[in-house]
Amino acid sequence: MAPPFTDAHIENSPKRIRVLFGGEFVVDTRKAKLVWESRYYPTYFFPHSELSQEYLQLASEHPTNGDTYDLIIAHKKAAGAVTMYSSPSHQHLNGLLKINFSAADAWFEEDEQIFVHPKDPYKRVDVLNSSRHIQVEVDGVEVANSRSPKLLYETGLPVRSYIPKTDCRLDLLVPSDLTTACPYKGEAHYYHVQVSPEKRVDNVVWWYQNPNLECAQINGLVAFYDEKVDVFVDGEKQARPKSLWS
C-alpha cells in the first residue's frame, strides 16, 4: 500500500522514542509503531509493555475502541490520556496503546524534541525561490503584489506562496492573537485583513517568526489563506483549493 493511506496502516519506527511526563520518561522505547489513523499524518503507538502499569489508573469512562486510563505520576495526572487497545473491532491495534500527544510534557525522537505530531516519513517540504508574479486580493482589494515569492511545496497540500511583507499592504494587516503549530514549519502567527473600516476578514494571513530549520527560508514572509482569498499567478486567477490546513 502506497501513501497517502486510505485504510489504517501500521509500520515499525526505526527511531528511539521517549515520552516525558511529570519529570520522568514514562516511555523510552525502540519498539514504537507509526499508525495512520487518518490519511494526513501518523501517530505513535506502543506495545503495552512499554508503559509501566504504575503510571496508569483506570479512567471512569471507557470508549468502545479500547480501555481509557489516566496517566499519573506523583502529583500530576492527565485524565484519559492513554488508550489500551484490546477490542475485537480493532484487531490491528490489539496489544498497542496510544498516549495523547498533547497530554505529555515533551516527545523526543532520539534526542530531538518533536512538536504537534510525529512527522510523516512519506511527506516532504521544499521551499523554492520563484519569479512568478503573485497578486492577492481580499474582497476585491489588492493586499499583496510580488515578483519574488518563495513557494512552499508540502506533500499532499496546496502550494503556498510566501511573500515579503514589503510587497504587502501592511496598513491593512491587523495582528491577531491566533497561533497554530506545524511539526514541519513551527509556530505560526496570524493577521486579519481590514479591507475597509466596516469590513475585516479574520485570520487569513500567517507568518513564521522563527520557522524550523528545514523551512528557514520563509522566516518573516507572509502567506495567505488561498481558500478564502483571490490569488492571481502571472495574471491568471487561480481556483481556490479545498480547505485542509496551512
Q: Which domain CATH number covers 33?
A: 2.170.150.40
* Rounded Cα gap, residues 45 and 12, in angstroms: 10
End-of-domain residue from the set 73, 92, 114: 114
2 found inside a domain: no
Q: Let me know whether 166 and 230 are in one domain.
A: yes
- In 3D, which of 236, 223, 217 has the Cα closest to residue 158? 223
Question: Do 203 and 229 meet the contact criterion of CB atoms below 8 Å apart?
Answer: no
Q: Let me know whether 161 and 66 are in one domain.
A: no
Q: Let me know whether 107 and 163 are in one domain.
A: no
Average pLDDT (29-41) is 91
- In 3D, which of 47, 53, 21, 51 has the Cα closest to residue 35? 47
How much of the chain, in percent, has pLDDT values that exceed 90? 81
Q: Let me know whether 144 and 223 are in one domain.
A: yes
Q: Let me know whether 61 and 98 are in one domain.
A: yes
- Model pLDDT, residue 75: 86
- Model pLDDT, residue 146: 98
Q: To which residue does cell 490491528 refer? A: 92
Average pLDDT (58-86) is 84
Q: pLDDT tier at 241 (50, 70, 90 boundaries)?
A: confident
End-of-domain residue from the set 114, 149, 177: 114
Q: pLDDT tier at 246 (50, 70, 90 boundaries)?
A: very low
Average pLDDT (91-117) is 94
3 found inside a domain: no
Report the domain count for the chain: 2
Q: Let me know whether 207 and 144 are in one domain.
A: yes
Q: Let me know whether 100 and 132 are in one domain.
A: no
CA distances from 239 to 155, 228, 230, 232, 233 (A): 19, 11, 8, 9, 11
246 found inside a domain: no
Q: pLDDT tier at 89 (50, 70, 90 boundaries)?
A: low
152 found inside a domain: yes
Q: Let me know whether 84 and 105 are in one domain.
A: yes
End-of-domain residue from the set 58, 92, 114: 114
Q: Let me know whether 81 and 153 are in one domain.
A: no
pLDDT surpasses 90 at 5: no
The H or E element containing residue 224 is strand 222-224
In the chain, the amino acid numbered 52 is: S
242 found inside a domain: no
C-alpha cell at 203: 485570520
225 found inside a domain: yes
- In 3D, which of 40, 93, 44 has the Cα closest to residue 67? 93
pLDDT surpasses 70 at 217: yes
106 found inside a domain: yes
pLDDT surpasses 70 at 245: no
245 found inside a domain: no
The least confident of 46-60, 79-93, 98-112, 157-171 is: 79-93
Cα of 149 vs its chain's centroid, Å = 23
Range of the domain at 72: 9-114
Q: Let me know whether 45 and 18 are in one domain.
A: yes
* Rounded Cα gap, residues 178 and 222, in angstroms: 15
Q: Let me know whether 149 and 227 are in one domain.
A: yes
Burial-class residue 149 by CB neighbours within 10 Å (0-12, 13-18, 19+). Answer: buried
